[in-house]
Structure 1
Amino acid sequence: MLPRSAFGQTVFFVGALLLINQVVSYVTVTLYVFKPTFEQVNLMLAKQVKTVFIDWEDGVEVDSSLSSKFFEITGIEVMTQRDAYRNGLGQAKEYTLLSRSMSEQLNGSARVRISQGDPVVYWVETPQAPGYWVRVPLAGLSETKMEFLVFYLSSIGFLSVLGGWLFARHLNKPLKSLQVAASRVGDGDFSTRLVEEGSTEVIEVTRAFNKMSKGIAELENDRRLLMAGVSHDLRTPLTRIRLATEMMSEEEDYLRDGIIDDIEDMNAIIDQFIEYLRHHNGAEMISGDVNGVVEEVVHAEQQHQRPIHFQAEAHLPEVVMNAVAIKRVVTNMIENAIRYSQEAIEVSTEYSAKHRAVLVNVMDRGPGIPESELESVFEPFKQGDQARGSDGSGLGLAIIKRIITTHGGRVKLRNREGGGLIAQISLPIAKKYSSQ
């Protein structure tokens, strides 16, 4: 039942504390302000009622010594029950506590009713005159005062909860920014630098995060620089070897062709290493049409003389992407399908309303991948050796996952019915479409 976020828990506990405070305040005001006030009013009314009924033996008699001026000034009236009902007794509400207090003052069973209005009217049936009601108007005592108290307490409670909500929001804003920045770092974006604000503890955490992010960025740069240097140093002797093979005699053509193939494989592996380490930052991403990118790749891959059937869903929403990186992803997916199958390749695009993402599917009729290895093949240098051979460096799917993760998307592999594999990538649609 409790909220799980720090923001929600803060608001909940502040609200609960204020609610308890409001209940205690209400009970306190009722018991120590309103109750004594009404008891005091009840006591004064009991004394006034006693002065009205002086003598009663053969029926009720109003003391003749009481001047008409007393009734005129006080507004007190004595009515039969019929007259009392005619003047609003039926709409009056009976109060047990006040009746009990009045009974103690009048030494008998008394009944007290109050009719709301302007003014509030006290109705008292005394034990000295059953069947007769004393009507006592009370100016300055109105139900609206109680309503004002309820309104006041409600307003204070609402404003307090609102203040607690704003305070919790301000308190958790740096944590939310930290969460977003951490997600970006996880996706390979190390450019985010958080503003150090908030409480002392949050500032320390933010400072540590900025330092960590900077260190990871420097480590990534050093790694890319190292790989670039290694690839450059390797390509120089490979080029010399390639030139040397060209000078070999015709009798050694079989050996030359093998050396050239090995050199090309090594160059391809070096390119994959560099591509895996390359960081595609957000500045390279723009809104674009996936169909155009996929169609361009399919057209380029037709050189393999393998049928590639492309089925594009019309009017796809645009996605924010690095077109060059997405081309590399689709190219890797198609080349994997060509490498591990002999039949036609099927490529399709579609829109998933459930995930609000554009999907790109590449399907083949190869041997597939064992279910237990569908997730592990995305690890660097990991291959589905048992099912799909061991050619390549084992970085193809790792590169795909790295690029798609940078785009905020997902990569999924699943085996097809009847044999084969479906490689699917999902790219979230642009925000202008998400809000529609």
Structure 2
Amino acid sequence: LGAIILAGVLVGIISSRRLLSPIVRLNQEIDHIIITGDLGRRLDSSGTGDQLDGLINRYNRLLDRVESLIGGMKDTLDAVAHDLRTPLTRLRGHAELALGKGDAEEYEEALATVVEQTDQAGALLSALMDIAEAEQGMLSLEGVSCNLSTLAAEVSDMYELIAEEKGQRLTLEAPNEVLLSGDPVRLRQILGNLVDNALKYSPEGSCIDIRCGFSDETSWAEIIDDGPGVPEEETERVFERLYRGDRSRGSRGLGLGLSMVKALVEAHSGSVEISKVEGRGASFKVVFPRISEENISKA
């Protein structure tokens, strides 16, 4: 009897150690991360599918997410440090120039330039932070029912005077209701950036078409311009932060408009498509998951 009890105790100890082994390893890994800051190590799951295995898998996914967020923050800080260097250098240069002048009119001109450069640096920083937050899934978005046709009409009205001043024309073609769930402010920003981009690269006398529509599963908006189009080798790079391709040479701007578009569209679970339109310029199409009128009435 004593041997049976002893054997049972030994089996219990061995079983307990096997069960506790993953938890011990998990604690060791957590201690390692706390001490070293190394987020690259992962635990191997046993493949049994039990609760401990699930805990290990969730722990690994958590580390993946944390590592991605920290990497995104580092990339953003690197981009901010790099891209603010030029405007800050200009800012200092104009300030030093103002200090070296004694004429009141020259003072005023230099200070006006300083204010302009400060505004540009602030806009650059704000845009970079918005893009980074959107890319990392940290941007706060209001999720309400929106009519893409209404937003497109508002953007068209907003840019109509700018188009007229450049001798350009905006047209809007959209059904009454193109429904989706999203943040109306950010959706308006997406459309505004695309229209602004089209106006910037289209010549005088050209036409920019704004179109909206839907399918069974998607709602979309498309901006077609009369510009030079986007070379095939640049179709991915135009969405990079501060990328300025051949068609951007000589144009003003931060070079962040399309980066912002892509980040905000993807934050809405959508996608951006670029294509060449025969006899025209480029087409930028943003596609979102569609919601139905029944879903809206239930909300």
TM-score (norm 1): 0.45
Correspondence for 2:234: 373
**Residues 320 and 253 from structure 1, CA distance in 2 versus in 1: closer, same or farther, beyond 3 angstroms?**
same
Correspondence for 2:62: 210
Q: Note if 1:362 corresponds to 2:223.
A: yes
Q: Note if 1:429 corresponds to 2:284.
A: no
CA positional deviation for 1:281? 4.5
**Residues 227 and 367 from structure 1, CA distance in 2 versus in 1: closer, same or farther, beyond 3 angstroms?**
closer
- Is contact 2:172-2:210 (8 Å) kept? yes
Q: Matches of 2:260 and 2:174 in 1, distance apart?
A: 24
Q: Matches of 1:430 and 1:272 in 2, distance apart?
A: 29
CA positional deviation for 1:218? 5.5
Question: In structure 1, what residue type is equivalent to 2:55?
Answer: I
Q: Matches of 2:181 and 2:263 in 1, distance apart?
A: 16
Correspondence for 1:270: 125
- Is contact 1:248-1:256 (8 Å) kept? no
Correspondence for 2:11: none
Query: In the alignment, which of 275, 278, 290 is matched to residue 414 of structure 1?
Result: 275
Q: Note if 1:397 corresponds to 2:265.
A: no
Q: Matches of 2:54 and 2:293 in 1, distance apart?
A: 33
Q: Note if 1:327 corresponds to 2:179.
A: no
Q: Matches of 2:161 and 2:278 in 1, distance apart?
A: 28
Gaps of 5+ in 2: 1-47
**What per-residue deviation string (whole Å, max 9, x for no partner) do you get for residues 87-108 of structure 1?**
xxxxxxxxxxxxxxxxxxxxxx
CA positional deviation for 1:404? 0.7
Question: Which range moves more in the overlay, 210-219 or 251-260?
Answer: 251-260
CA positional deviation for 1:366? 1.0
Q: Note if 1:293 corresponds to 2:117.
A: no
CA positional deviation for 1:250? 3.3
Instruction: Name the % identity.
Output: 20
CA positional deviation for 1:431? 6.5
Q: Secondary structure, in 3 states, of the residue corresponding to 1:284?
A: coil
Query: In the alignment, which of 171, 174, 188 is matched to residue 312 of structure 1?
Result: 174
Q: Matches of 2:238 and 2:80 in 1, distance apart?
A: 26
- Is contact 1:319-1:428 (8 Å) kept? yes
Q: Matches of 2:143 and 2:169 in 1, distance apart?
A: 31
Equivalences for residues 56-75 of structure 1 within 5 A: none
CA positional deviation for 1:214? 3.6
Q: Secondary structure, in 3 states, of the residue corresponding to 1:402?
A: helix
Q: Secondary structure, in 3 states, of the residue corresponding to 1:338?
A: helix
- Is contact 1:367-1:388 (8 Å) kept? no
**Residues 229 and 388 from structure 1, CA distance in 2 versus in 1: closer, same or farther, beyond 3 angstroms?**
closer
Q: Matches of 2:190 and 2:245 in 1, distance apart?
A: 19
Q: Matches of 2:237 and 2:82 in 1, distance apart?
A: 28
- Is contact 2:148-2:177 (8 Å) kept? no
**Residues 414 and 231 from structure 1, CA distance in 2 versus in 1: closer, same or farther, beyond 3 angstroms?**
closer
**Residues 223 and 368 from structure 1, CA distance in 2 versus in 1: closer, same or farther, beyond 3 angstroms?**
closer
**Residues 284 and 326 from structure 1, CA distance in 2 versus in 1: closer, same or farther, beyond 3 angstroms?**
same
Q: Matches of 2:125 and 2:245 in 1, distance apart?
A: 21
CA positional deviation for 1:429? 0.7
Correspondence for 1:249: 104
- Is contact 1:269-1:393 (8 Å) kept? yes
How many equivalent pairs are there? 235
**What per-residue deviation string (whole Å, max 9, x for no partner) do you get for residues 178-209 of structure 1?**
xxxxxxxxxxxxxxxxxxx9524333112211
Q: Secondary structure, in 3 states, of the residue corresponding to 2:129?
A: helix
- Is contact 1:350-1:359 (8 Å) kept? yes
**Residues 290 and 227 from structure 1, CA distance in 2 versus in 1: closer, same or farther, beyond 3 angstroms?**
same
**Residues 300 and 282 from structure 1, CA distance in 2 versus in 1: closer, same or farther, beyond 3 angstroms?**
same
CA positional deviation for 1:321? 0.7
CA positional deviation for 1:357? 0.9
Q: Secondary structure, in 3 states, of the residue corresponding to 2:287?
A: strand
**What per-residue deviation string (whole Å, max 9, x for no partner) do you get for residues 333-385 of structure 1?**
111111111223221111133xx211111111111111222122222232322
Q: Which of the pair has more CA radius of gyration?
A: 1
Q: Secondary structure, in 3 states, of the residue corresponding to 1:278?
A: helix
Q: Matches of 2:71 and 2:189 in 1, distance apart?
A: 25
CA positional deviation for 1:275? 2.5
- Is contact 1:348-1:362 (8 Å) kept? yes
Question: In structure 2, what residue type is equivalent to 1:320?
Answer: S
Equivalences for residues 28-177 of structure 1 within 5 A: none
Q: Matches of 2:185 and 2:213 in 1, distance apart?
A: 20
**Residues 366 and 252 from structure 1, CA distance in 2 versus in 1: closer, same or farther, beyond 3 angstroms?**
farther
Question: In structure 1, what residue type is equivalent to 2:158?
Answer: A
- Is contact 1:358-1:428 (8 Å) kept? yes
Q: Secondary structure, in 3 states, of the residue corresponding to 2:175?
A: coil
Correspondence for 1:337: 198
Query: In the alignment, which of 284, 303, 313 is matched to residue 142 of structure 2?
Result: 284
**Residues 216 and 372 from structure 1, CA distance in 2 versus in 1: closer, same or farther, beyond 3 angstroms?**
closer
